[in-house]
């Protein structure tokens, strides 16, 4: 993986209005080797943008294959060897170079553990949470965090297999809370959860943000996204088409700016299940012009010829000529 970025020495302090994470114009392709010796580049992400502040939860929604998990891998520095990345990823105002990613991963940037398999089956849960706590008084800090997530203090002497699914989720939550990470990425932590477990997960992710962390929450499910996030970033075929504040998802979507975001909103059961004909283009068939134009109800000739630039204001953005 190659990251073309300028290394500039900047102060380490996170200024008040400085984003924790800033992804701008990110593009990503995979070098593929076909029979013979021909090399081709498969472009999977073309224009991704996302900005995240401390204490903020930004949900990333989009159809399967829109680039959500690749964004997570790009931030964590976990892309395969044949991935070629361009654009900007800044963390606390400084470019995330591969060296910095390796250094920060698991320390300041971490992926949320999603299942019991993230816990060591042979270690008592209290010890596991203490292991990620920096500094002194590990035991006392761990007890305090167990309290916060509603785990009885005796749970710290239990092994993971002795706990129910709900308790395990709380131990995982405690682990994330205890960690020093400022940026937490949760990739699809909710599918298959019953409504109670879902509510618990949503609550603990909110707790992470209340405790000062920034969270990127990746999901298929726009309803969960709206329950949890401050802002929603909508991905379509490897592009961010809109970043909207949660409160703009209301009524018939009149405050939403991109036709795809409006369509996602109006396809929800409570908004009348209005379907959007067609499907996200395959990577091999991405055509000229705006990525969404083949399905867009308000397209014009311009949209067929030219890609719209992004327009940003007050932490929101949209990529549409007519928004």
Ligand X SMILES: Nc1ncnc2c1ncn2[C@@H]1O[C@H](COP(=O)(O)OP(=O)(O)OP(=O)(O)O)[C@@H](O)[C@H]1O
Q: Measure the CA–CA gap between 264 and 275, rounded to whole angstroms.
A: 8
The single residue listed with the structure tokens 């000229």 is: 288
Minimum Å gap between C-beta 101 and ligand X is 17
Under rule CB under 5 A, residue 69 binds Ni ion: yes
CA distance 278 to 165: 39
Candidate segments 48-56, 68-76, 105-113, 145-153, binder of ligand X by CB under 6 A:
68-76
Residue 297 binding ligand X, by CB under 6 A:
no
Q: From 292, 298, 289, 297, select the one nearest 280 (Cα to Cα).
A: 292
Question: Among the candidate windows 62-70, 78-86, 135-143, 302-310, which touches Ni ion by CB under 5 A?
Answer: 62-70
44 is a site residue for ligand X (CB under 6 A): yes
Measured between alpha carbons, how far is 180 from 213 in angstroms, rounded to an integer? 9
Q: Tell the smallest beta-carbon distance from residue 235 to ligand X (Å).
A: 7
Q: Encoding tokens for residue 262?
A: 């409006």
The piece of 46-54, 58-66, 159-167, 221-229 that touches ligand X (CB under 6 A) is: 58-66
CB of 191: closest distance to ligand X in angstroms?
10
8, two tokens: 């500039």
Query: Would you say 18 or 69 has its CB closer to Ni ion?
Result: 69
* Of 114, 32, 103, the residue nearest 69 (C-alpha): 114
Token digits of residue 37:
């010796």
220 binds, among ligand X, Ni ion, none (CB under 5 to 8 A by kind): ligand X
Nearest distance from residue 188's CB to ligand X, in Å? 6
Closest distance to ligand X from the beta carbon of 79 (Å): 8
Alpha-carbon distance 193 to 198, whole Å?
6
Taking the complex as a whole, how short is the minimal distance between the CB of residue 222 and Ni ion, in angstroms? 15
For 25, the enclosing helix (H) or strand (E) is strand 21-33
Q: Which does 253 bind (CB under 5 to 8 A by kind): Ni ion, ligand X, none?
A: none
Q: Which residues contact 189 (CB under 8 A, 6 or more apart)?
A: 112, 114, 201, 205, 217, 219
| Helix (H) or strand (E) segment spanning residue 220 | none
Distance CA 12, CA 6 (A): 16
Question: C-beta of 209: minimal distance to ligand X in Å?
Answer: 22
**Cα(202)–Cα(57) distance, integer angstroms:** 11
Which run of H or E residues covers position 240? Answer: strand 239-245
Of 171-230, binders to ligand X (CB under 6 A) are 220
| Residue 47 interacting with ligand X (CB under 6 A) | no
β-sheet bridge partners, residue 219: 61
Rule CB under 5 A: say whether 114 interacts with Ni ion: no
Interacting partner of 195 out of Ni ion, ligand X, none (Cβ under 5 to 8 A depending on kind): none
- If 0-12 CB within 10 Å is exposed, 13-18 middle and 19+ buried, where does residue 246 land? middle
Contact flag: residue 68 with ligand X (CB under 6 A): yes
* Nearest position to Ni ion, beta carbon: 69
| Shortest Cβ 69–Ni ion spacing (Å) | 3
* Residues that contact ligand X, how many (by CB under 6 A): 14
Residues 219-248 that bind ligand X (CB under 6 A): 220
66 interface partner picked from ligand X, Ni ion, none, CB below 5 to 8 A per type: ligand X
Q: Which stretch binds ligand X (CB under 6 A): 17-25, 65-73, 125-133, 287-295?
A: 65-73
Which ranges in 123-258 belong to alpha helices (H)?
Answer: 125-131, 138-148, 165-178, 195-210, 222-228
User: Using CB under 6 A as the criterion, which residues of the chain lie in contact with ligand X when the complex forms?
Assistant: 30, 42, 44, 62, 64-70, 80, 220, 283
User: Using CB under 5 A as the criterion, which residues of the chain lie in contact with Ni ion when the complex forms?
Assistant: 68-69
């Amino acid at each position: 993986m190659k990251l073309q970025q300028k290394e500039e020495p900047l102060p380490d302090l996170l200024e008040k209005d400085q984003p924790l994470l800033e992804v701008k114009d990110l593009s990503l392709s995979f070098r593929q080797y076909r029979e013979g010796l021909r090399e081709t580049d498969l472009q999977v992400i073309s224009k991704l943008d996302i900005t995240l502040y401390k204490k903020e939860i930004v949900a990333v929604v989009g159809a399967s294959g829109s680039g959500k998990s690749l964004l997570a891998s790009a931030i964590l520095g976990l892309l395969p060897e044949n991935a070629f990345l361009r654009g900007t990823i800044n963390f606390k105002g400084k470019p995330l170079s591969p060296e910095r990613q390796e250094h920060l991963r698991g320390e300041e940037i971490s992926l949320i553990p999603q299942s019991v398999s993230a816990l060591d089956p042979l270690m008592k849960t209290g010890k596991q949470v203490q292991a990620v706590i920096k500094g002194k008084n590990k035991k006392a800090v761990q007890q305090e965090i167990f309290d916060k997530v509603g785990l009885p203090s005796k749970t710290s002497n239990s092994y993971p297999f002795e706990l129910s699914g709900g308790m395990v989720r709380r131990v995982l939550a405690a682990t994330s809370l205890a960690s020093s990470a400022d940026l937490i990425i949760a990739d699809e932590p909710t599918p298959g959860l019953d409504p109670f477990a879902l509510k618990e997960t949503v609550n603990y992710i909110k707790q992470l943000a209340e405790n000062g962390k920034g969270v990127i929450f990746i999901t298929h499910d726009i309803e969960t996204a709206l329950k949890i996030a401050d802002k929603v970033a909508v991905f379509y075929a490897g592009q961010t088409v809109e970043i909207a504040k949660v409160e703009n998802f209301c009524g018939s979507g009149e405050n939403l700016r991109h036709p795809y975001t409006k369509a996602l909103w109006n396809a929800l059961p409570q908004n009348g299940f209005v379907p959007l004909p067609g499907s996200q283009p395959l990577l091999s068939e991405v055509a000229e012009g705006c990525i969404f134009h083949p399905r867009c109800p308000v397209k014009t000739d311009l949209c067929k010829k030219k890609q719209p630039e992004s327009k940003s204001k007050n932490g929101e953005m949209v990529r549409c000529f007519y928004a």
